[in-house]
Amino acid sequence: MPSEIRVDSPDQERFLRELLDAGLLIDGGTPGVYGHGAAFERVRAAFAALVTAEARAAGAVSLTFPPIIARDKLETAGYVGNFPHLAGTIFGFDGSETEARTLRERAAAHEDWSELQSQTDLMLLPAGCYPVYPAVAARGPLDPGGVLVDIGAAWVFRHEPSLDPARRQSFRMHELVRIGEAEAVAAWRADWAQRGVRMLRGLGLDAELENASDPFFGRAGRLLAASQSAEDLKWELVVPIAGPEPTACASFNYHLDRFGETWGLRLADGTTAHTACIGFGQERVVAALLRTHGLEPERWPDEIRARLDAALSADPEPAGVTWLDTDATTNAATPAC
Amino acid sequence: MPSEIRVDSPDQERFLRELLDAGLLIDGGTPGVYGHGAAFERVRAAFAALVTAEARAAGAVSLTFPPIIARDKLETAGYVGNFPHLAGTIFGFDGSETEARTLRERAAAHEDWSELQSQTDLMLLPAGCYPVYPAVAARGPLDPGGVLVDIGAAWVFRHEPSLDPARRQSFRMHELVRIGEAEAVAAWRADWAQRGVRMLRGLGLDAELENASDPFFGRAGRLLAASQSAEDLKWELVVPIAGPEPTACASFNYHLDRFGETWGLRLADGTTAHTACIGFGQERVVAALLRTHGLEPERWPDEIRARLDAALSADPEPAGVTWLDTDATTNAATPAC
């Protein structure tokens, strides 16, 4: 598939080159796929610890998911239909010895062997929250107050090759998912949006909260995006990194009862639960910090370093399964997460 | 693709059920794809810290890679040709509005939409070491002594659906990669095989080191496996988990100059470097511990818990870029890692 590489600003390409030259990123040989050096990872881990500490204090349950997901779950969730251009599907080989020989020869010559592949029942995980809803639904009705899940750093995939170092095809999204009564869930999203602003500004970033929408596909998608925006269901925390526009480093998404209905998420009284999720783009937050404070974290302002070091040294031991003690409708297009 | 699900022993299926019932694993809706609860993750993180502490003491460089890799790298490395049955290829959508509508309808009905997908230039990462060789080669000739890389926990993919909880399609492999002079690399593998035995036995596991071979595809593959075994290039550390045979929980692989030639890895004197890698299957190690000591880690023997707790609390801060100070050949089939 001759993927179109997104046209980026010279500023973004220059920043990418600087990150590669400094060993913060490692060239993966294709746009949007990078390894990371130790200095990059240390900052990322510190930011993850900062988010997890706040989530744990709020009673979050820790769950961890792999970077792949059963295809039928994304079909059911509507992701495939709404974001076909971003979705990654896993194909595999199920052929004969003769076909394997053909595949081997073509692969060695870097020729096309796609006809020797067939679709498996697996896809790449596009956002960390998708496996959470069916997992929680399988436990039966929620306890009063619902639940808060911290999925930590999930590797997610978006098929959008770009030379902007802040636009990856594979990256880590730190997501928190809240499932419960409508008002409690809406209030939780509003509270975390403010926490997000405080967290990023506390690290010296020029972060602003904005109304936003998901990149739904095509003409029909523009209507869905407009409706999502009008209903105020997606907020993004944008920070200047590189390029003419600030970059979304976190999103705060309210799904109303859409996923509750889809997955049969029930409250203790039998009514449908509401859901919200928030996600911090870990690589984007680190890129914003590097752009703002310079490429050498050991020379960042003392206050910023102290805040990150403190988070990292506060051993973020995963919390046990804890259910929240708090209190308790419409329908929209399925959001990206 | 109607994937064949590997037939497993009743013992393995029972153990899987116990892990799910205890909330240690979370059902992903398809064999070999599981989420993990906090208790499972805590043990996994402790074991990772144990390995990383030893690697750091030996001067390892920390590098981190995403769960996907450019397709041409796996073609070049020979993985696609040797392990077509295990490889996962990423397909995507590049069609029109009309095609997107068809895709959307079929996906919503869980019908076949594979004809609307085309191959991208990306694959799933099959072992953590693959991105390391080209990354190190890009730096130019190695310093004397070569290099040791700790890639931490990489998410890897193998297309082999199974009801054995120790056989995942997506799992974390903690790999260390050694690149340098032939004798130094061979000695390093032998040393780490003994460290691996000590590490697993120190956690109360009945671990045995064995000569092994990779699961090369088909009839031709059986010859490659026999040659690999005869040359003593792969050792596995096997531990009883469930099922009639013990399960490989770690492997210690010597590639001679195979990857050195493929990627142009040069020593300071211009000759080709040798390479070796070792990998601990993190989920398998945790499964072995749970099977051996019981499903409640808080009730494991004091000595085992103390060892894991100590590793976890010794903040495993990634090391800076350090090159080893230590003291240079043949050719075989490309191994799995």
**pLDDT tens, B127-137?**
999 999 999 99
User: What is the token pair recorded at A16?
Assistant: 């990418």
Mean pLDDT of B38-59: 95
E strands along chain B, which residues? 25-27, 34-37, 61-64, 68-70, 89-92, 118-124, 147-157, 170-180, 208-211, 234-239, 247-254, 274-281
From chain A, the residues in CB contact with B134 under 8 A are 29
User: Within an 8 Å CB–CB cutoff, is residue B73 touching chain A?
Assistant: yes
Task: Name the residue facing A41 among B36, B62, B313 (closest C-beta).
Answer: B62
Element (H, E) at A154: strand A147-157
Please report which confidence band the pLDDT of residue B334 belongs to, taking 50, 70 and 90 as the band edges: low
Q: Which residue has the higher pLDDT, A268 or A324?
A: A268
User: Within an 8 Å CB–CB cutoff, is residue A42 touching chain B?
Assistant: yes
Q: Which residue has the higher pLDDT, B313 or B81?
A: B81
User: Within an 8 Å CB–CB cutoff, is residue B157 touching chain A?
Assistant: yes
Please report which confidence band the pLDDT of residue A319 belongs to, taking 50, 70 and 90 as the band edges: very low
Bridge-partner residues for A122, per DSSP?
A70
Measure the CA–CA gap between A220 and A85, rounded to whole angstroms.
Answer: 14
Please report which confidence band the pLDDT of residue A330 belongs to, taking 50, 70 and 90 as the band edges: very low
From chain A, the residues in CB contact with B37 under 8 A are 62-63, 321
> Quick check: B331 and B272 in contact, CB under 8 A?
no
ipTM of the complex: 0.92
pLDDT at A289: 98
Element (H, E) at A79: helix A79-82
pLDDT at B314: 79
Task: Name the residue facing A110 among B67, B75, B169 (closest C-beta).
Answer: B75
Enumerate residues 121 to 140 of chain A having a beta carbon within 8 A of any beta carbon in chain B. Answer: 121-122, 124, 131, 134-135, 138
SS3 content of chain B, % helix, strand, coil (to 5): 40, 25, 40
Work out the burial of residue B268: count CB atoms within 10 Å of its CB; fewer than 13 is exposed, 13-18 middle, 19 or more buried. Answer: middle
- pLDDT tens digits along A172-211: 999 999 999 999 999 999 999 999 999 999 999 999 999 9
Measure the CA–CA gap between A137 and A265, rounded to whole angstroms.
Answer: 5
- pLDDT tens digits along A217-262: 999 899 999 999 999 999 999 999 999 999 999 999 999 999 999 9
Enumerate residues 174 to 213 of chain A having a beta carbon within 8 A of any beta carbon in chain B. Answer: none
Enumerate residues 237 to 296 of chain A having a beta carbon within 8 A of any beta carbon in chain B. Answer: none
Q: Is the pLDDT of residue B322 over 80?
A: no
- pLDDT tens digits along B100-131: 999 999 999 999 999 999 999 999 999 999 99
CB atoms within 10 A of CB A271: 15
pLDDT at A48: 95
User: What is the token pair recorded at A194?
Assistant: 């403010």
Please report which confidence band the pLDDT of residue A315 belongs to, taking 50, 70 and 90 as the band edges: low
User: Within an 8 Å CB–CB cutoff, is residue A67 touching chain B?
Assistant: yes
Please give the radius of gyration of chain B, using alpha carbons only, rounded to the nearest integer: 21
Strand A147-157 and strand A61-64: the pairing is parallel
Which residue has tokens 């953590």? Answer: B128
From chain B, the residues in CB contact with A36 under 8 A are 63-65
Please report which confidence band the pLDDT of residue B317 belongs to, taking 50, 70 and 90 as the band edges: very low
User: Within an 8 Å CB–CB cutoff, is residue A70 touching chain B?
Assistant: yes
User: Within an 8 Å CB–CB cutoff, is residue B5 touching chain A?
Assistant: no
Computed over every residue of chain A, the mean pLDDT equals: 91
Computed over every residue of chain B, the mean pLDDT equals: 91
